[in-house]
Amino acid sequence: MPISGEKLQDRARDTALALPGVSHGRPFTEQLEAYKVAGKVFLIVADDPDERIVTLKAEPEYGRLLQHEQYKSV
């Protein structure tokens, strides 16, 4: 079952923080929380309560696969 909004952001944050070697901070603006591994950003979570956005970086082939799986389950 898909999740959205604040629950999705919380799950993304918790999952990222559970990974080894992850750091996080707000290097861009106070509203964007960035998660990094090996100095590279892989997750950005927006703190705007009107727009609950999670941006996840992935290799293009994996991104397409994940998008396909998401739309199959909706």
Q: Residue 43 has which token pair?
A: 């997750």
pLDDT, one tens digit per residue, over 29-66 is: 999 999 999 999 999 999 888 888 899 898 888 888 87
pLDDT, one tens digit per residue, over 3-32 is: 778 888 999 999 999 999 999 999 999 999
- pLDDT at residue 2 in the model: 67
Cβ–Cβ < 8 Å for 64, 72: no
The amino acid at residue 38 is A
Sequence-distant (≥ 6) Cβ neighbours of residue 47 within 8 angstroms: 30, 31, 32, 33
**Cα separation of 64 and 74, whole Å?**
16
Length of the chain: 74
- pLDDT at residue 70 in the model: 61
